Amino acid sequence: MIPAVLPQLLLVDEPTYTFGSQDNVHSYGAELNLAKESRPTSIHGLFLDGKPHLVIGADGGCTGVHAHSLAVVAGRAYVAAGDQVVCLRSDTLEVLWSRGVDDATCFGIHFSEEHQALISHGELSIARLSTEGQIAWQSYGADIFSGSFSLRPDAILVTDFQGRVYRFNYSDGRDDA
């Protein structure tokens, strides 16, 4: 029996990338510009098995690349860029869908194994997404969610700018604090 080889994905920040130009540091096989304006505020590149494959640009607040910018779950890769979450096949990086998940910025994408829940941590909202990209629920706070964020067994804990703590439940996003 031959073991399955999983593709290696690497997400990098590409703040100087120009869509449609030949003068970029990396030459990607495909471009996905989701920005409504001519210049996206956030640009991230995906490498597949060490080769530049896809670059994604999006509007919203500027996002960098960090531990929660990419989540790989059940053969799908979820990328947080700008105000968007983009879903791709993790083996080919074929784009399956993209969804605006926050009116400002998507700080990260998280997955709760226990609840089988895909959760976006936005600046203005916390949202649960289906694997098809539909927003199951979206919850807001009194201020921006710039404090701590964690997935707990019983709730999603998030702190806003004023230090208020919210406990959103997984089933409907209600604040149980």
Tokens representing 63? 């996002």
CA distance 54 to 61: 21
Q: In terms of pTM, does the model score above 0.85?
A: yes
Instruction: For 9-168, give the CATH class.
Output: mainly beta
Confidence at residue 64, expressed as pLDDT on a 0 to 100 scale:
93
Cα three-residue angle 17-19-20, rounded to 5 degrees: 130
Confidence at residue 147, expressed as pLDDT on a 0 to 100 scale:
96
Ranges under pLDDT 70 in the chain: 1-6
Confidence at residue 6, expressed as pLDDT on a 0 to 100 scale:
61
Q: For residue 175, what is the DSSP state?
A: B
